[in-house]
Structure 1
């Protein structure tokens, strides 16, 4: 009977380890009066495998897209930035993904369709990230003017 209990414990431990996990180290949603805003965060992946984020959603917006801000015109000494959509974001194994102003960010569209009132300072905003393989994780960010 003891070996069966050990087997069950090992199986449950294996299942727990198989669940993808990310840690939110910092995060906020830019508080703006308009219909579009951005969400920022720093995610840490404590696992030995990179984790690919393939989608996101939030109840405060009709659509969430991943974007990257890039600097253009460096050779002409012009300070131009451009934004391009990216299909997925990868958090490296035992590493961080910084989704911060000037780099990657989540664009939230259709705020007015979901919220007649603008976001309030300090309002809690749930963001669900969908990982490759079907798992999803929800983090709570705070609306802030920054």
Structure 2
């Protein structure tokens, strides 16, 4: 009986809390870029992403693009930093252009060569409660 419980717990611990359905890092010549992805949460509880890192960036922040400024011009957009991202239970979070995205800063500090088309970039998402998940995203010109 104990072994069965241990195996079940091990299976839960090894289960991936999030699945990457698509993702990429925007190819840019400069020191700042953005990463985009669609994440799926197969679990029964929301997954809160509280931080991120990448070996190619000195820091990674979550941002959201919003439409319409204080003067109510619908054609204006602004970007604001957000503290965390939440992937709903049995749901998806779209981290795509025009909405939520990850900003990668300080590319030249960590990676003196410009990003190349097709290069793979590791992005680690830190989850509330201490877990983390790492995905490898291709660099693309979009």
Q: TM-score, normalised by structure 2?
A: 0.93
2:138 to 115, 119, 142: 142
Instruction: Name the SS for the 2:7 alignment partner.
Output: helix
1:58 pairs, out of 54, 60, 79, with 54
Question: For residue 75 of structure 2, what is the aligned residue in structure 1?
Answer: 79
What is the Cα-based RMSD across aligned positions, in Å? 1.6
**1:3-45 Cα deviation digits (max 9, x unpaired):** xxx3212222124225561000000000000000000000000
Q: Which has the larger radius of gyration?
A: 1
Unaligned 5+ segments in structure 2 are: none
The question of 1:13 aligning with 2:21 is answered no
1:128 matched to 2:140? The reply is no
Three-state SS of the structure 2 residue aligned to 1:60 is: coil
- Cα pair 1:31 1:120 within 8 Å, conserved: yes
Q: Structure 1 length as normaliser, TM-score?
A: 0.91
Q: Hey, what does 2:32 align to over in structure 1?
A: 36
Aligned length: 141
Q: Displacement of 1:74 after TM fit?
A: 9.4
Point out the structure with the larger helix share: 1
